[in-house]
Amino acid sequence: MLSVKNVIDIADLSVDDINLILENADTFNEVLERDLKKVPALRGKTILNLFFESSTRTRISFELAAKRLNADLINFTASSSSMKKGESIIDTIKTIQSMIVDLLIVRHSDSGVMDFISRNTGLPIINAGDGKHQHPTQALLDLYTIKKAFGDFKGLKVSIVGDIINSRVARSDMLLFKKMGMDVTLVSSSMLLPENLDYFGVNVRNNIDDIIETADVIYMLRMQLERQERKYYPSINEYNRFLSLDFKRLQSMKEGAIVMHPGPVNRGTEISEAVMNSEDTMKQKIKINEQVRNGVAARMALIYLILTTG
């Protein structure tokens, strides 16, 4: 049983909650390997995907997770809704409430909106990404991917590389990874680092070569050009020199070490074309597609546990 009904901030979850989610993700992973990839666990439950910001993979992942559990799912995207016609948030909420749903999955640029919706509807909420703040389910699927690769977390050396300041994934990941006993290093230039890093208790490096041979997990972030209202980095060449994963760097990673990325990858910026196209043993290091797959299992676990708690 989970200790919470809402997952807005990854810090809301206790270590017991996290282990329970991972355990259940394993069970659902087995369901996804069956010919008939569906269990009737949430038959009769209704889930609303409420997306005020655009998303493809997260929305589809949640949609698939809900459907594999036999829940009914409705998609509400702000761009095609009455919000465009000028409906206010509170009126949208009242509309949602009249629809009698059991769970909301919300993406909005402002995390305060989720608290607001939760307080006004009394419905459980899962944060599907809020601006630059948090993306808790991405962190859970990342953790699950690491668990499948290493079995345990204690003492694992994880480096998160790239555009930290604009990344909600980085924020949720470092909080979660630290909580599970991993040793977290951020690799970035000072322009791309947030200010209050003491709060997170992480190490900082400026060159990916400093960690490439010792890290167990190298987590490459996407250069978030769409969130950069100013230019954070002088040139792609400069970025490539200090912060990108090219084939030579991939080869110098230690045995068993893995590469992760939340997607979508900017080929040639954070990860080189050659790395994305690598084969055999080098390819096995790259877990980007496995992350997507694990995302469905992890989200099934979270949805299932929230809807069967209390």
Q: Does 273 bind another protein (CB under 8 A)?
A: no
The answer to whether the beta carbons of residues 114 and 144 sit under 8 Å apart is no
The answer to whether the beta carbons of residues 121 and 93 sit under 8 Å apart is yes
Q: Shortest gap between Cβ of 36 and another protein (angstroms)?
A: 5
Complex with another protein: residue 1 or 98, whichever CB lies closer: 1
Q: Does 308 bind another protein (CB under 8 A)?
A: yes
304: part of which helix (H) or strand (E)? helix 288-307
Q: Give the Cα separation of 141 and 293 in Å (integer).
A: 9
Complex with another protein: residue 271 or 305, whichever CB lies closer: 305
Q: Give the Cα separation of 262 and 221 in Å (integer).
A: 7
Q: Shortest gap between Cβ of 40 and another protein (angstroms)?
A: 6
Q: Shortest gap between Cβ of 46 and another protein (angstroms)?
A: 14
HSE, CB side, 13 Å, CA atoms: give it for residue 275: 27
Q: Is 127 helix (H, G, I), strand (E, B) or coil?
A: strand
The distance in angstroms from the start CA to the end CA of the chain is: 8
Q: Shortest gap between Cβ of 23 and another protein (angstroms)?
A: 7
Q: Does 35 bind another protein (CB under 8 A)?
A: yes
> With CB under 8 A as the contact rule, which of the stretches 8-16, 37-45, 109-117, 181-189 interacts with another protein?
37-45
Q: Shortest gap between Cβ of 25 and another protein (angstroms)?
A: 11
12-31 positions binding another protein, by CB under 8 A: 23-24, 27, 30-31
Complex with another protein: residue 284 or 309, whichever CB lies closer: 309
Complex with another protein: residue 35 or 255, whichever CB lies closer: 35
The answer to whether the beta carbons of residues 131 and 111 sit under 8 Å apart is yes
Q: Shortest gap between Cβ of 151 and another protein (angstroms)?
A: 16
Q: Give the Cα separation of 166 and 187 in Å (integer).
A: 14
The tokens describing 34, both together, are 């069956």
> With CB under 8 A as the contact rule, which of the stretches 33-41, 81-89, 93-101, 241-249 interacts with another protein?
33-41
The answer to whether the beta carbons of residues 44 and 102 sit under 8 Å apart is no
Complex with another protein: residue 31 or 60, whichever CB lies closer: 31
Q: Does 277 bind another protein (CB under 8 A)?
A: no
Q: Give the Cα separation of 31 and 34 in Å (integer).
A: 5
The tokens describing 75, both together, are 């998609």
* Location of structure tokens 């009914």: 72
Complex with another protein: residue 54 or 308, whichever CB lies closer: 308
State the binding string over 38-77 for another protein (x if CB under 8 A, else -): xxxx---------------------------x--------
Instruction: Provide the 8-state DSSP code for 253.
Output: S
Instruction: Provide the 8-state DSSP code for 13.
Output: S
List residues binding another protein (CB under 8 A).
Answer: 1, 23-24, 27, 30-31, 34-36, 38-41, 69, 304, 308
